[in-house]
Amino acid sequence: MDDAHTLKLKVNGQEHRLRPDPRTTVLDALREQIGLTGTKKGCDHGQCGACTVHLDGKPVLSCLLLVAGLAGREVITIEDIEGPDGTLHPMQRAFIDQDGFQCGYCTPGQIMSAIACVNEGHAGTRMEIQEFMSGNLCRCAAYPNIIAAIEEVRSRMSAAEGAGHEAPS
């Protein structure tokens, strides 16, 4: 590849060399060029949250970001949140335990936003959770179960912090 037109993007800890069209979104690069299909294309207008990933540790809508502007930045997708030994992330486990999904289409984006909700301190009350998660739509209306999953992880984190253990990321 010609280095002058190559973009280096770190995704899930691995560097990828891309030659994107200037109009290529992060979502399309992830799915079509890198082969990570866990991030879903919902509305393609930034209104549903199905495409949520973490960019430098913050949740973003990957359908609204052009990949050309992200050289040197780090993207984390749903494929990279499980433990190194394959154990589920605490939020994935809570979504299962609380039945926080039905059809599952929105689940990757919901989980990525839910992790940020807890990590950024927006899960203090049910109302805070609802407000933070309001950008993620679920056509199956699993909202009460999604909130319960977030509350479960928040409780586990509080218990772990109180016992001197590191909170899950």
- Domains of the chain with bracketed CATH: 3-78 (3.10.20.30), 90-162 (1.10.150.120)
Which residues fall within 8 angstroms of residue 118, CB to CB, at 6 or more apart?
91, 150, 153, 154, 157
Q: Which amino acid is at 94?
A: A
Mean pLDDT, consecutive 10-residue segments, the chain of 169 residues? Answer: 74 93 94 97 96 97 94 94 94 97 95 97 97 96 97 84 52
pTM score above 0.85? yes
